[in-house]
Chains A and B, each alone.
Chain A
C-alpha cells in the first residue's frame, strides 16, 4: 500500500517549508527577533542505540519510521542535551527547577554537591555498619535521588472547582508529569523555606532526599496530607466532569 498521507505544511504564501525567517541578512546588522521552528520540525533523537541497531533487526514500522525521518526537518538539539551516558533527564529537570535567574552554573554545581553529599553520608553509614546491614545500604546517589522523588509523588491531587459561587477542593487523578513536577516542586520549596540559617542548600537537600528515600520526612508528610484531604473530600468527586 502506498505511503499514507504525510502532512507537510507548505507555507502557502510561497515562503517554503516552514522557514519563518527573513532571508534578508544585511551586512553590519544583527537580527534581533530569532525565528521559531515551524510545526513540521521534529524533535531530535539523541539516543545512540537507536541508530546503532543493525537494519536486519528492525521491524517494518521501525524501517518505515526511519525512512520517514529522512524526509523530515529536525530541530537542533538544545545545549543541555548530549548523548552522554552521564546525562539524566530527571536530574536535568530538577536542576532547571532549582535554577534562579538563569544561573545554570550555580544550579548545576549545587546539584553535583548534593549528590556528592548524599554519597558521602551513605558511605559513612556503610563503613560504620555491620556486615548484614551493609548489604541493605544503597550508595548510588542517582538511585537514591530517583527513588526519593518517586516516593514523594502524590497519587491523587486536588483541584479547585467553582460550583454555586464557591470553590471546592475536588479530588482528581493526576497525570504522570504532574506528579513528577509536584514531587520536585515540594522538595525544592521545602529545602528553601524550612532551612536553618547558615545551612547550605546541598546539605539540606541531601538530608531531605535521604529522608524521602526511607519514606519519612516533611515532603512525604506533605504527600500524605494531600492524600488525606482527597480522602476527606471524596464526596465531592462527582463535581469533576473530565
Chain B
C-alpha cells in the first residue's frame, strides 16, 4: 500500500519535539542525516522530519533558493493526492467516492497524532493547489517574445485589469452621452447598497492576479471600481464589479437563539451559559418574577457584597428595561468575584435572548458581547 502523499507544511524547517531529553551529540547526528535526506528526495515523508541548522553550510545553499514547480510536477502531485485519498478512505473503512477534506483531516489526526503546538507544523494532507504556492507559467514563447502586450510593465495582470475597467467606464459614459443626445437620458439615482458586501482586500487581489501589488496600486484600482459602480451599468458591468466584491457576515446570526422552554406550571424559562476568565456560570431566567436573583442557593446581595458586581448582574435587565420582571437562578464556579459576576452577566444575557426581539439581541451584542 503506497504511503499517502503527506507533507509537513511547505518545505519549512522544524524543531524536533521529543518527549524525553535527547543528548546533544545524538541530535546533531540525527539532524545531519535529515539534511542529507533533503537533497535526495523532493517528496518528504512524515517519519523523516527535516531540520536545517542555524549555520548555513555549503550543503544548504541550494535549499534556500526559491523552488519553482513545473506544471507537470503539480499534475503529478494532484494524481498522487487523489490516489492517496482513496487509499486513506480504504484504510479508514469509508467510501472512497464520498471522502471529503474534513474526513481526510480527521483521518490524518487519528493516524498521525502530533503533540506539536504550532498547528502549521503538524502533518497535513491537502490538495496540492493549497500547499504549493501559485506560480505563473512561463510568460514568453520559444523565440523569447512575451505573450502579453503589457509584459514589460512588470505587472501585466494588474495593468490589463485596470485597462479593462477603464474601458468599461468609457463605454458606459459613451452610452450615456448617446442617450443624452437622443434626449432619452433619465437621471436615475443609484440606490445605495446596504452593508452586505465589501471590496476585495489587497491580499485577496494579489492572490487573484498572482502578482505583487503596492498599496497605491490597490487604492487606485478600488477607486476606479467605485467610479464604475457609481455609473448606471448594465448586467455585464455589474457582473464585472461583482467579481471584486465579497460578502460580509452579520455577526449576530452566528449565535443561535434557543426557543423558550416551559416548566410544569406553564411558566416560560430559558437557560444560558457564560464564561469569563476561569469562571463558568449557568443561569436559568424565568419569564415572570420579581427580580430575585439566586446564586448557588444564596441571595445575590449576600453573594456579591460589592456594588460593582451587583451592577454587572443588573446590566442586561436594565438595558432591556426588564428590571424586576424576571427571576434568575444560577450556579457559578471558578474565578474570582469579578469574573464570576461577568460570567453570570453573560449567561443571563444569553438566556434573555430567547425572550426578546432580534433587534434587541443585536443591540445587546453591540453593547456587552460575548467574548
Report yes or no: A74 in contact with B371, Cβ–Cβ below 8 A: no
> Is residue A234 contacting chain B, with contact meaning CB distance below 8 A?
no
Q: Interface segment, A64-72, A134-142, A222-230?
A: A64-72
Contact residues in B for A34 (Cβ distance below 8 Å): 277
> Is residue A4 contacting chain B, with contact meaning CB distance below 8 A?
yes
Report yes or no: B251 in contact with A70, Cβ–Cβ below 8 A: yes
For A77, give the chain B residue with the smallest CB separation: B368
Contact residues in B for A79 (Cβ distance below 8 Å): 308, 312, 338, 341-342
For the complex formed, measure the closest distance between the CB of A142 and the CB atoms of chain B, giving whole angstroms: 17
Contacts A4-B226, A44-B368, A74-B365 hold; do A80 and B198 have CB atoms under 8 A apart? no
For the complex formed, measure the closest distance between the CB of B357 and the CB atoms of chain A, giving whole angstroms: 12
Report yes or no: B194 in contact with A67, Cβ–Cβ below 8 A: yes
Report yes or no: A8 in contact with B248, Cβ–Cβ below 8 A: yes
> Is residue B318 contacting chain A, with contact meaning CB distance below 8 A?
yes
Report yes or no: B365 in contact with A5, Cβ–Cβ below 8 A: no
Contact residues in A for B201 (Cβ distance below 8 Å): 7-10
Q: Binding site of A, secondary structure by majority: helix, strand, loop or mixed?
A: loop
> Is residue A56 contacting chain B, with contact meaning CB distance below 8 A?
no
Count A-side interface residues using an 8 Å CB cutoff.
Answer: 40
Contact residues in A for B371 (Cβ distance below 8 Å): 75-76
> Is residue A82 contacting chain B, with contact meaning CB distance below 8 A?
yes
For the complex formed, measure the closest distance between the CB of A60 and the CB atoms of chain B, giving whole angstroms: 8
Within 285-317 of B, Cβ neighbours of A (below 8 Å) are at: 306-308, 311-312, 314-315
For the complex formed, measure the closest distance between the CB of B8 and the CB atoms of chain A, giving whole angstroms: 16
For B222, give the chain A residue with the smallest CB separation: A5
Count B-side interface residues using an 8 Å CB cutoff.
Answer: 47
> Is residue B138 contacting chain A, with contact meaning CB distance below 8 A?
no
Contacts A77-B367, A83-B319, A83-B367 hold; do A72 and B311 have CB atoms under 8 A apart? no
1/0 contact trace for B331-360 toward A, CB 8 Å?
000000010011000100000000000000
Contact residues in A for B346 (Cβ distance below 8 Å): 76
Report yes or no: A70 in contact with B277, Cβ–Cβ below 8 A: no
**CA A87 to CA B270, docked complex, whole Å:** 30
For A63, give the chain B residue with the smallest CB separation: B194
1/0 contact trace for B245-277 toward A, CB 8 Å?
100111110000000000000000000000001
Report yes or no: B308 in contact with A72, Cβ–Cβ below 8 A: no
**CA A84 to CA B308, docked complex, whole Å:** 11
For the complex formed, measure the closest distance between the CB of A86 and the CB atoms of chain B, giving whole angstroms: 9
Q: Interface segment, A45-53, A166-174, A194-202?
A: A45-53
Within 182-210 of B, Cβ neighbours of A (below 8 Å) are at: 190, 192-195, 197-199, 201, 203-204
**CA A3 to CA B371, docked complex, whole Å:** 28
For A105, give the chain B residue with the smallest CB separation: B306
Report yes or no: A1 in contact with B192, Cβ–Cβ below 8 A: yes
Report, nearest first, the 9 A-B pairs whose CB atoms are least far apart: A67-B195, A6-B198, A77-B368, A51-B363, A2-B193, A76-B371, A71-B248, A2-B229, A82-B315
Q: A76-B369, A77-B315, A77-B367 are known; give 9 further A-B pairs, CB within 8 A.
A: A2-B241, A3-B197, A45-B366, A46-B368, A70-B251, A83-B318, A83-B367, A105-B306, A108-B308
B: residues with CB less than 8 A from A are: 120, 190, 192-195, 197-199, 201, 203-204, 222, 226, 229-230, 241, 245, 248-252, 277-278, 306-308, 311-312, 314-315, 318-319, 338, 341-342, 346, 362-363, 365-371
